[in-house]
């Protein structure tokens, strides 16, 4: 039978510690909240008060329950106040020597049967535990910020943690209404091990001027449905905290270069640019602690005038291709008022594309998202052809054919001969080098990447990819067209994966490596990223949807271009693809979809 915890101690009353106090007190458990000094106690008390007052204001907590919650909390300066608690959770800054000193003192102060827990997000629970004479009663209980809201708790056992201690803590998590995943003591555990490699990679993109901070964040929010972009998330976490986590993971996790903090990160920490807590990080905030971003000297102009500056006039658009992507692109251009010429190989395919566009527009009418008159007008703007010659008078061509470089190069060579001067030629490739396509023409300055996302009529993001030969006018034209389509354009260089795939697929590959190492289950890893990081899908759910073969192909391209050892495709991923386990499309991937 699980142990009953009636009184819990919390050491450290920063944002995380105060949130943990609130979690326990909300669930009827008495809390002794400890800080090093009276001023620190008052700051912790104020943090708890602000949080509970917000909950009351939002209707998520009754005023009477708030008052009862506060009555369960006793604030005290010094660890001696914890002499009779059943469990202590330490939530001080991520410094091993500090935590070891605290645990040595807790070992002296607390009763022999008291469980000692650390909320560390990256340090070794084992190294913390050896500062005590009871390492078998030391465990990691890693809450996520904000603790009262986030459902996940990582329960971290060492090689000597007693099984009954693990069971008692798991039962406690259930009592708190949390979902726990129990794992062994490894650098970064699940969530941070997957999250911080991705965050560090995003900082590297920004440092190298590959894309702006706004475009990197918009790409991941709109392209992947993430609650925050990576740079905004770094500001929320705190750049000093992020640096410590990355540095610890690099030193303890096999010295993977992708976890070595990007130099810019250390420079910003040294300069005191710590994110929201200091009022400035990757973004500038209204005041320290405020979530409100204010313009600064690095904020780009994003007005319609700026987007249109240098853009060429576009009235007629050619779309080449017959797949789902081409169909969606035809629809969005026609609905936006452009005259569209659809070109396919043969009139039979042309008829199929026409029917697919009609079906999609009719669905819009049925769902009340499109008026019948607007549907008819959109269809009236589209003409259908089986020859490229009908593109002689268009202003923009968007290619959406198969992802084979030889096919695209041959197509662009033909377009170069047929299209009038000044026409912007765009490829929708998601993985091939745009420059290779551009150099198949005599007008590489007019060639740009327009990477739409599926389903195109719904997804709001377009990656505008400029090569080293793309003219500023062609880029400006692409951005202006995206704005006219109601899409958000993010501009980046011509590098494998662009923004979204370059950040997304290494994260998915890391999750496969974690599963391959038997560190955790696919279900627990998915739970960790959904409940701990707010992701709409776990990595294995997403891999099954995307297709394991697609993920492997993109990861191979990233590895071949960047030559980063950490980007090498996970052997398990390669084996599953070889065996025909491709995800939902084969009804077998990381999960069995045969019943669906």
For the segment(s) 500-586, the CATH number from 1.10.340.30, 1.10.1060.10, 3.40.50.300, 1.10.1040.10 is 1.10.1040.10
Q: How many CB atoms lie within 10 A of CB 373?
A: 9
The domains spanning 7-184 and 500-586 adopt the same CATH topology: no
Q: How many CB atoms lie within 10 A of CB 289?
A: 11
H-assigned helices in 225-285: 230-237, 239-252, 263-270
- Sorted by sequence, the CB contacts under 8 Å of residue 58 that are 6+ apart come out as none
Query: Cis peptide before 259, with omega less than 30 degrees from 0?
Result: no
Tell me whether residue 169 is exposed, middle or buried, using C-beta atoms within 10 angstroms of its C-beta: 0 to 12, 13 to 18, 19 or more: buried
The pLDDT tens digits along the chain (596 residues) read 778 899 999 999 998 999 999 999 999 999 999 999 999 999 999 999 999 999 999 999 999 999 999 999 999 999 999 999 999 999 998 889 999 999 999 999 999 999 999 999 889 999 999 999 999 999 999 999 889 999 999 999 999 999 999 999 999 999 999 999 999 998 889 999 999 999 999 999 999 999 999 999 999 999 999 999 999 999 999 999 899 899 988 888 777 788 899 999 999 999 999 999 999 999 999 999 889 999 887 665 444 444 456 899 999 999 999 999 999 999 999 999 999 999 999 889 999 999 999 999 999 999 999 999 999 999 999 999 999 999 999 999 999 999 999 999 999 999 999 999 999 999 999 989 999 999 999 999 999 999 999 899 999 999 999 999 999 999 999 999 999 999 999 999 999 999 999 999 999 999 999 999 999 999 999 999 999 998 999 999 999 999 999 999 999 999 998 888 889 999 999 999 999 999 888 888 888 766 55
Strands 7-11, 30-35: parallel, antiparallel or unpaired by DSSP?
parallel
H-assigned helices in 58-190: 63-71, 96-109, 125-129, 163-175
- Sorted by sequence, the CB contacts under 8 Å of residue 75 that are 6+ apart come out as 33, 34, 35, 41, 44, 45
Domain ranges for the chain: 7-184, 191-294, 304-493, 500-586
For residues 498, 500, 503, 505, the Cα torsion angle rounded to the nearest 10 degrees is -100
Q: Please report where in the chains the tokens 């039962």 appear, as a residue.
A: 171
Q: Please tell me the CATH superfamily of domain 7-184, with its number.
A: NAD(P)-binding Rossmann-like Domain (3.40.50.720)
Name the β-bridge partners of 460: none
H-run or E-run covering 572: helix 571-578
Instruction: Specify the 3-state DSSP secondary structure of 113.
Output: coil
Contacts from 408-415 at CB under 8 Å and sequence distance 24+? Answer: 408/432, 408/437, 408/440, 409/436, 409/437, 409/440, 410/440, 411/320, 412/437, 412/438, 412/440, 412/441, 412/447, 413/440, 413/441, 414/388, 415/320, 415/388, 415/391, 415/441
Structure tokens at 516: 């391959």
Strands 424-427, 382-385: parallel, antiparallel or unpaired by DSSP?
unpaired
The residues assigned a catalytic role are 121, 142, 154, 192
Q: How many CA atoms lie within 13 A of 430 on its CB side?
A: 19
CB-CB contact of 188 with 198 (8 Å): no
Architecture of the domain defined by 191-294 = Orthogonal Bundle (1.10)
Topology of 304-493 in CATH? Rossmann fold (3.40.50)
SS3 for 384-411 is EECCHHHHCCCCEEEECCCCCHHHHHHH
């Amino acid at each position: 039978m699980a142990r009953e915890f009636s009184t819990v101690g919390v050491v450290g009353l920063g944002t995380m510690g105060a949130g943990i106090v609130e979690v326990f007190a909300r669930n009827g458990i008495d809390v002794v909240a400890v800080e090093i000094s009276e001023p620190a106690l008052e700051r912790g008390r104020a943090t708890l008060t602000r949080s509970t007052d917000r909950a009351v204001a939002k209707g998520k907590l009754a005023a009477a329950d708030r008052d009862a919650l506060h009555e369960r909390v006793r604030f005290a300066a010094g660890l001696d106040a914890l002499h009779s608690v059943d469990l202590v959770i330490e939530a001080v800054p991520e410094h091993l020597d500090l935590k070891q000193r605290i645990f040595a003192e807790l070992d002296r102060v607390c009763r022999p049967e008291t469980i000692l827990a650390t909320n560390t997000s990256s340090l070794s629970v084992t190294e913390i535990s050896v500062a005590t004479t009871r390492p078998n009663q030391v465990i990691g209980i890693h809450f996520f910020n904000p603790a009262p809201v986030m459902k996940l708790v990582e329960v971290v056992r060492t090689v000597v943690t007693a099984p009954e201690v693990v069971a008692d803590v798991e039962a406690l998590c259930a009592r708190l209404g949390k979902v726990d995943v129990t794992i062994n003591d490894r650098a970064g555990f699940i969530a941070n091990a997957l999250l911080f490699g991705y965050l560090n990679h995003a900082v590297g993109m920004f440092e190298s001027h590959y894309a702006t901070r706004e475009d990197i964040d918009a790409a991941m929010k709109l392209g992947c449905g993430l609650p925050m972009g990576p740079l905004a998330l770094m500001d929320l976490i705190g750049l000093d905290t992020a640096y410590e986590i990355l540095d610890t993971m690099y030193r303890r996790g096999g010295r993977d270069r992708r976890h070595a903090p990007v130099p810019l990160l250390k420079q910003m920490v040294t300069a005191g640019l710590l994110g929201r807590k200091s009022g400035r990080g990757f973004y500038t905030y209204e005041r320290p602690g405020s979530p409100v971003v204010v313009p600064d000297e690095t904020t780009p102009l994003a007005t319609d005038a700026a987007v249109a500056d240098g853009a060429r006039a576009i009235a007629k658009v050619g779309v080449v291709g017959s797949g789902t992507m081409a169909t969606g692109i035809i629809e969005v251009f026609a609905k936006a008022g452009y005259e569209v010429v659809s070109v396919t190989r043969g009139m039979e395919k042309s008829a199929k594309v026409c029917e697919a566009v009609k079906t999609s527009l009719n669905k819009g009418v049925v769902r009340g998202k499109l008026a019948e008159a607007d549907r008819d007008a959109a269809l009236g703007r589209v003409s259908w052809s089986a020859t490229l010659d009908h593109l002689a008078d268009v202003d923009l061509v968007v290619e959406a054919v198969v992802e084979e470089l030889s096919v695209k190069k041959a197509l662009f060579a033909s377009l170069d001969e047929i299209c009038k001067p000044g026409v912007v030629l765009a490829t929708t490739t998601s993985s091939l080098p745009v420059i290779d396509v551009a150099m198949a023409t005599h007008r590489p300055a007019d060639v740009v990447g327009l990477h739409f996302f599926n389903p195109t009529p719904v997804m709001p993001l377009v990656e505008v990819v400029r090569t080293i030969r793309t003219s500023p006018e062609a880029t400006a034209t692409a951005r202006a067209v995206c704005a006219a389509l109601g899409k958000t354009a993010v501009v980046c260089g011509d590098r494998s994966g662009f923004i979204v795939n370059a950040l997304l697929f290494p994260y998915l590959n890391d999750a496969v490596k974690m599963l391959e190492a038997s560190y955790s289950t696919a279900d627990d890893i998915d739970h960790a990223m959904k409940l701990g990081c707010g992701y709409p899908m776990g990595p294995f759910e997403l891999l099954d949807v995307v297709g394991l073969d697609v993920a492997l192909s993109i990861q191979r391209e990233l590895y071949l271009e960047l030559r980063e050892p950490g980007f090498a495709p996970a052997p398990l991923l390669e084996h599953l693809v070889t065996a025909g386990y491709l995800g939902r499309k084969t009804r077998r991937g990381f999960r069995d979809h045969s019943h669906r």
